[in-house]
Amino acid sequence: MGVFVAVACHLCAGLLALPAHLLDLLGLWKPLAIRLFPHLYVNIALEYHERMYSRKKKLFSRLPDFTGPSGPLKVLEIGCGTGCNFPFYPRGAKVTCTDANPHFQEYLRKSQAENDHLHFEPNLVAPAENLFEVGDASVDVVVSTAVLCSVKSVEAAIKEVVRILRPGGAYFFLEHVCADHSTWTYIFQRMLDPSWKCVFAGCNLCRESWKDLEKAPFSEMKLQHICPPFRWRPIGPHITGYAVK
């Protein structure tokens, strides 16, 4: 029965995503998806934020612990999207926002205006794997939430995180990941992944991002596997925590 349901979901996902796949074959989908995704993501982000609110609040309560000796706290957020993490950042923090998609800027500026307890540095349109405009050892904290799923290289993105963090700084993360391979959730993820990736701007359902984090040269790691109560089980498995340089 479970196999039948999984196959049925795979076929349905493929049919629903067929227009996107056809446009992708013609080289037309990616430019269109870059423009459309921010408008689609706004509603997705609202539900995600509501369901993860308590997790985020607990996680980001540790941010002030990593304020540098010269203060105030310097935060760089990778893939900040609509800026839904800003309310969790401590008053007076200096925040630099980066996102590879320039079409998030409209929503980002709105969130920045609503969070005047923070000081915002100029926004950067740049992929997580290449933040060359950010200096070495220049920030206290790097943040990413639901970002490593869609970067081209998790290893390269984490390498950049390590580079820009000052010694003693920390990388805070909350990311959806691949389920345990013995579960039905994993089977669903594998079957949905090609269509999901095409429709949702390169988002991968089957990434084991914790392995890249564990291989990175951090001095300390606090990492927890969780499964929040999402209606969409394929994005249920998450990792959360922080890693200290």
Per-state percent for the chain, helix, strand, coil, to nearest 5: 45, 20, 35
Q: Work out the angle between the directed axes of helices 2-16 and 18-25 (0-180°, nearest 10).
A: 50
Q: What is the pLDDT of residues 26-85, one digit of tens each?
A: 565 576 667 777 777 787 777 888 889 999 999 999 999 999 998 899 999 999 999 999
Neighbours of 47 (CB within 10 A): 12
pLDDT at 96 over 80: yes
* Average pLDDT for the chain: 87
Given a cut of 50, whether residue 1 has pLDDT beyond it is: no
CATH of the domain at 53: 3.40.50.150
Is the CA virtual torsion 139, 208, 205, 174 positive or negative? Answer: negative
Q: How many domains does the chain have?
A: 1
CA dist 41 → 30, 47, 116, 197 (Å): 16, 10, 23, 14
> For residue 189, what are the domain limits?
2-244
Distance CA(176)–CA(232), nearest Å, equals: 12
Task: Name which residue leads in pLDDT, 202 or 30.
Answer: 202
In the predicted structure, residue 10 carries a pLDDT above the cut 80: no
pLDDT digits 0-9 by tens, 176-197: 999 999 988 898 898 888 888 8
